[in-house]
């Protein structure tokens, strides 16, 4: 198991190196010089050159790559062109909203999806199952910004249980902050929970038709015991895969919901960075997200091995 973890960790490190080279190369080759863009159309070549120098855009590619990658490793992400503050600070600020929001939404989605999927699988073909399948279909189909606005209308405007948007920060304690994140988390969790419930249902149905479930029943386990003792863990592999994908998506993919609720999260920061050609911000954020995705994949891999002993030997 330890060897498995080490080998996965090695592959994680290699993936990061490859990803950093690719990201750096892509950003370098796309047209649009940040210096001339920032200075406008009337800038003199001398002024542009001076700004380029100031921004660290001169020097050979390898030198710039190592400076950038080395900075990343030490937490120095460079200075934003547009905000004139260290990118690390910007990211940290935004991460304190986006990360809790993603975890909150993921927790909600998992907590809803598991029991729902389990019930649907256990009562396959019943009215309950059809009801759940219909509801999850709807959950996937409804655009989440529309659902978010509905939540605002009902719970913020009419019932006044929550505020309609904004974020009070964590300084005032966790409760007000979590409260502000609740509606956005629900809006984010709805389609994710719907997908996850369907995956859980189909994985369980597949598992419950396996021979070893029949063996368990022949040993005297009730249908429920066979499902919980032998079915659930075997059905986990596809479910873990989806959870991993969903977390990566939630971290940066919440941009529309962040806009609906006026939350200054990572999604909005990327969007602003792109529109303002703030390449340092974009580069750093993309790298950070790649890191997050690879890290989640690593954790999911480890979880696979915990769940299924057959995967432990394969390195």
Partner 1 sequence: MIRLENLTLDIHGQAILRDVSLDIEPGKVTGLVGESGSGKSMTALAMMGLLPHGASTTGHAWLDEGDVLAKSEREMCDLRGNRVGMIFQEPMTALNPVKPIGEQVAETLVIHGRATRREAIEIARARLARVGLPEERFALSRYPHELSGGQRQRVCIAMAVALNPELLIADEPTTALDVTTQAQILDLLKGLVAEEGMSLLLITHDLAVVAGLANHVAVMQAGRIVEQGPTEALFRTMAHPYTRKLFSASHHKPDRAKQAQGAPLLTVENAVRDYPTARRGLFGRPGSFRAVKGVSFTLHRGESLGLVGESGCGKSTLTRAILGLDALQGGAIRLQGQDIHSGPRLASAIRRRMQVVFQDPYGSFNPRWRVERLVAEPFHLMDQRPHDIANRVASALDDVGIEPAAMSRYIHEFSGGQRQRIAIARALITGPDIIILDEAVSALDVSIRAQILDLLARLRAEHGLSYLFISHDLSVVRAITDRVLVMRSGEIVERGETAQVFAAPTHAYTRELIAATPTIPADWQGDLHA
Give me the residues that bind partner 1 (CB under 8 A), please: 3, 6-7, 10, 210-212, 214-222, 225, 229-230, 233-234, 307-310, 313-315
Closest separation in Å from C-beta 209 to partner 1: 11
Closest separation in Å from C-beta 314 to partner 1: 8
- Residues with Cβ within 8 Å of 77's Cβ and at least 6 positions away in sequence, in order, are 71, 86, 87, 88, 91, 280, 284
Closest separation in Å from C-beta 155 to partner 1: 42
Structure tokens at 167: 């974020």
Closest separation in Å from C-beta 123 to partner 1: 12
- Comparing CB distances to partner 1, the nearer of 198 and 230 is 230
Structure tokens at 129: 């199952």
Interatomic CA distance for residues 141 and 58, integer angstroms: 49
Task: Tell me how far CA of residue 174 lies from CA of 104, 184, 274, in angstroms.
Answer: 13, 16, 32
Closest separation in Å from C-beta 307 to partner 1: 6
Closest separation in Å from C-beta 256 to partner 1: 39
Closest by Cα among 90, 106, 118 to 248:
106
Residue 117 contacts residue 200 (beta carbons within 8 Å): yes
Structure tokens at 116: 């729902």
Interatomic CA distance for residues 250 and 99, integer angstroms: 9
- Comparing CB distances to partner 1, the nearer of 234 and 276 is 234
Closest separation in Å from C-beta 215 to partner 1: 5
- Comparing CB distances to partner 1, the nearer of 1 and 26 is 1
- Comparing CB distances to partner 1, the nearer of 217 and 277 is 217
b/e string for 282-300 if b means 16 or more Cβ within 10 A?
bbbbbbbbbbbbbebbbbb
- Comparing CB distances to partner 1, the nearer of 3 and 179 is 3
- Residues with Cβ within 8 Å of 307's Cβ and at least 6 positions away in sequence, in order, are 233, 236, 237, 240
Interatomic CA distance for residues 82 and 309, integer angstroms: 51
- Comparing CB distances to partner 1, the nearer of 230 and 268 is 230
- Comparing CB distances to partner 1, the nearer of 84 and 310 is 310
């Amino acid at each position: 198991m330890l060897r498995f973890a080490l080998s996965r960790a090695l592959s994680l490190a290699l993936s990061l190196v490859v990803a950093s080279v690719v990201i750096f190369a892509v950003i370098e080759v796309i047209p649009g010089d940040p210096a001339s863009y920032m200075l406008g159309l009337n800038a003199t070549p001398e002024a542009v050159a001076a700004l380029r120098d100031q921004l660290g855009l001169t020097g050979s590619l390898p030198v710039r790559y190592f400076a950038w990658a080395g900075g990343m490793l030490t937490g120095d992400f460079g200075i934003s062109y547009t905000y004139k503050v260290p990118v690390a600070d910007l990211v940290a600020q935004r991460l304190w909203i986006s990360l809790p929001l993603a975890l909150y939404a993921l927790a909600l989605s998992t907590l809803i999806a598991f029991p729902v999927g389990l019930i649907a699988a256990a009562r396959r073909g019943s009215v309950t199952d059809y009801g759940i399948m219909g509801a999850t279909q709807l959950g996937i189909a409804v655009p989440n910004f529309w659902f978010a606005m509905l939540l605002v209308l009902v719970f913020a405007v009419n019932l006044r249980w929550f505020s309609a948007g904004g974020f009070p920060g964590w300084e005032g304690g966790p409760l007000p902050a979590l409260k502000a994140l609740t509606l956005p988390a629900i809006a984010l969790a709805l389609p994710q929970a719907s997908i996850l419930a369907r995956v859980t249902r189909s994985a369980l149905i597949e598992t419950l038709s396996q021979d070893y479930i029949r063996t368990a029943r022949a040993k005297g386990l009730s249908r429920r015991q066979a499902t919980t003792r032998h079915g659930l863990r075997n059905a986990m592999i596809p479910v873990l895969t989806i959870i991993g994908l969903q977390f990566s998506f939630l971290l940066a993919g919440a941009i529309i919901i962040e806009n609906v609720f006026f939350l200054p999260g990572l999604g909005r920061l990327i969007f602003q960075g792109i529109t303002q050609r703030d390449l340092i911000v974009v580069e750093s954020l993309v790298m950070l997200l790649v890191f997050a995705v690879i890290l989640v994949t690593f954790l999911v891999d480890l979880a696979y091995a915990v769940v299924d002993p057959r995967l432990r030997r394969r390195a």
